[in-house]
Amino acid sequence: MISQFLKSYPDIKLDVSVDDALTDIVAERYDAGIRRGERVARNMIWVRISDPMQIVVVASPTYLAERGTPKTPQDLDRHNCIRIRFPSGVFLPWRFGRKRRKELVRAESLCITV
């Protein structure tokens, strides 16, 4: 998306800042911001820029040979999982959808924070 934007608007200087915090983009003097999901303040004007994204869970064949292949989302609790931790210290749970039913998996037992 960024390369297409820059080709369409070559006179605009683009400065990208990546932050997990819910930054007040007006107070911080940004012209625009991109947030995942519906995490936008009520007084903000927003436009959807993509279709909902699917996220997949992956593991190397070596890891699965050593630790076994999880069969259900709950099985991930016994595996090493890469998770996102917000500045508040709260971990972003993994959300799985199955036949219109949503499941949250915390996988907190063994985590690598990024």
Question: 95 in a domain, yes or no?
Answer: yes
Question: 107 in a domain, yes or no?
Answer: yes
Question: 16 in a domain, yes or no?
Answer: no
Q: pLDDT band for 108, please (50, 70, 90 cuts).
A: low
Evaluate if pTM is beyond 0.85.
Answer: no
In the chain, how many domains are there? 1
pLDDT of residue 99: 67
Question: 46 in a domain, yes or no?
Answer: no
Question: 33 in a domain, yes or no?
Answer: no
Question: 70 in a domain, yes or no?
Answer: yes
pLDDT tens-digit series, residues 17-45: 777 677 788 888 888 888 776 677 777 78
Handedness of CA 76, 69, 80, 61 (dihedral sign): negative
Question: 80 in a domain, yes or no?
Answer: yes
* Domain with 90 in it: 61-113
Percent of the chain with pLDDT over 90: 11
Q: What is the mean pLDDT of the chain?
A: 78
> How far is CA 79 from each of CA 36, 68, 69, 86, 88, rounded to the nearest angstrom?
26, 9, 9, 21, 24
Asked whether residue 75 carries a pLDDT value surpassing 80, the answer given is: yes
